[in-house]
Amino acid sequence: MAQAVAFITGGARRIGASIAKQLHQQGYNLVLHYNRSEDAAKQLAQALNALRPDSVKILQCDLNDTEQLATLGQRVINCWARLDLLVNNASAFYPTPLQTCTDEQWDELINSNLKAPFFLSKQLAESLKHSNGVIINLIDIHAQRALTGYPIYSIAKAGLQMMTISLAKELAPQVRVNGIAPGPIMWPEQDAALSEEDKQEVIGKTLLKRSGRPEDIAQAVLFLSQQSFITGQILAVDGGKSLYS
């Protein structure tokens, strides 16, 4: 039997890398997408290939570039001539206050969080149908409860949630489509970085009073990839934050 293949966008760092390690441990061959994180992608691929030779390939693509995005799906299939699991993980995240946000910010946040997952799903649908495959979209609890100061990001993730439900209908019965809505798992970086006080405030608004781990998301991806009677669902992995009143 041919080795199952998973494609992970944004698979070089942070949550994407944890998903990659979990799936690789379960026997998947991997195609890892990266944009600017070339060194991290090469290091991760080298480490996983050392465990199982010729099991990981990496592909660079700027998901904001329409021409690059248009050919990414075929490049994925060219790696092993099959696909069993698509994990739409790549995401831009930074504040865009309403009075100062720009067209460029709109394009970047919508492209990475919504447009790229949609068109990759379209490009790879036939291969996934052939393998009775799975699409898993990394959404956010803020798809349902908008994050103040982040309207474009919240809009994009709300769209990704509806895309998950819509594609579950469009691609049934051959392909299952589900989503994961993380809460506080890894703290944001750069322009979105939080102070220690802000981090404690976020943790205080979870029922479990702690942040999660990247491995929690990776295990959720594995669960949804294996459960053959679940589709069109959004699994919150948020320590109960979405229930906090």
Distances (CA, A) of 160 to 112, 136, 170, 206: 10, 11, 15, 23
pTM of structure: 0.96
Strands 29-34 and 56-60: parallel
Under DSSP, the state recorded for 36 is: S
Q: Which of the residues are catalytic?
A: 153
| Tens of pLDDT, residues 180-233 | 999 999 887 777 788 888 889 989 999 999 999 999 999 999 999 999 999 999
| Tens of pLDDT, residues 20-44 | 999 999 999 999 999 999 999 999 9
Q: How far apart are CA 57 and CA 46, in angstroms?
A: 9
Please provide the DSSP assignment of 169-208 as one string. Answer: HHHTTT-EEEEEEE-SSS---GGG---HHHHHHHHHTSSS
Q: How far apart are CA 116 and CA 120, in angstroms?
A: 6
Does residue 29 sit in helix, strand or coil?
Answer: strand
